[in-house]
Amino acid sequence: MEARESLGRIEVAPEVLIAIARQALLEVEGVQKMAPIPADMSNLFHRSSRHDGIVLNFEDNRLTFDIYVLMGPGVNIVASSKAAQAAIREAMDKMVGIPVQAVNIHVEDVVYGPETRT
């Protein structure tokens, strides 16, 4: 039996994981754009990476996301949220292979009018 030789270590920056999650999220029908993380919640996530409405926590080799979004009008918020959870899990599995423990979607508002996706 041959021993496997290590080629070294692979590190993925938290910002990369957040960018992957953000892209997957914005492709989900109904998600209008990212919402700011509420000020009263920012203190709870002091040991996490946060950016553009996404809070990422990496603990015990598992990812947990808290995602803050604005939804478009006339969409099924629950269905769009579940689709967002599935899209993020799939993107993480496909691109980095790190298990996702939870994707918590926080719908902060519904956007009406000519607002564009950002």
Per-10-residue mean pLDDT, the chain, length 118: 77 93 96 88 55 88 94 96 98 95 96 66
Fold of domain 14-110: Alpha-Beta Plaits (3.30.70)
Secondary structure class of 47 (helix, strand, coil)? coil
User: Model pTM?
Assistant: 0.82
Domain boundaries in the chain? 14-110
**Number of other residues whose CB lies within 10 A of the CB of residue 114:** 5
Largest CA distance in the chain: 65
Contact 70, 33 (CB under 8 A): yes
